[in-house]
Amino acid sequence: MTRGAVFAIYRLNGHFKTKKEVSETDDSKIVDLYLARDETAVSHTAGKYGAKIRAVANRILNDDAAAEECENDTYLAVWNLIPPNEPRTYLFPFLCKVARFIAANEARKRKSSKRNAILCELTAEMEECIPSSDSDVERIVEAKQLGRAISSFLETRSEEKGNVFVRRYWFFDSIEEISKRYGFSKSKVKMILSRMRRDLKEYLKKEGYQI
């Protein structure tokens, strides 16, 4: 499937189910469509998660048109990733991971000072608590083994703290945005993040990582 084909399928939803029907399609069934190489999988994905994918991309790029291009590139990438992957129980996180990777690459290509400043800021924060390596921080964070360790760590934290951490380091929300979302003061958000990074560092050390 080409990028143009993905774009055409995304735009011609009228040939498939209604928007409501698409949005209610079970994730496992959507994955089945990808596995069957059924191109309507893209339409179902766009109907259910398109707006969220664009939001994730726009968080990094701050450009509506570029975020939409990133969304279409995400569908093409996911088409090529399923199979071998079968994200039946984690389709949206899977989509987000792909969209974030594509958008971050685009931000680096554009050398957008504002977006790069955000990426550098978050990278510096995460360098406090993840293993050092010759590769860049983004690659380390995306590594499967470390990703599972961080997920396990988050399961040991409260829902409140986990949400704040994910909004900051997964969705790239600013301190102010997190503060407004959860009704916390900015100082409380900063305190939660600081303690989470400290606790993550200690957790990873116990798991055998060299920080």
Q: What's the pLDDT score for residue 150?
A: 85
Could you report the per-residue pLDDT of 6-42, keeping only the tens digit for each?
Answer: 544 444 443 344 444 444 569 999 999 999 999 999 9
The arithmetic mean of pLDDT across residues 51-74, rounded, is: 90
Domain 112-211 part of CATH 3.30.110.30:
no
Instruction: Give the model's pLDDT for residue 71.
Output: 94
CB 78 within 8 A of CB 48: no
Task: Tell me the average pLDDT across 139-154.
Answer: 71
Residue 13: predicted pLDDT: 42
Per domain, the residue ranges of the chain are 1-111, 112-211
pLDDT-based confidence at residue 116 (cuts at 50, 70, 90): low
What mean pLDDT comes out for the span 179-195? 95
Whether the model pTM is above 0.85: no
User: What topology is assigned to 1-111 in CATH?
Assistant: Rna Polymerase Sigma Factor; Chain: A (1.10.1740)
Q: Give tens-digit pLDDT for 147-177.
A: 778 888 999 999 999 999 988 888 778 899 9
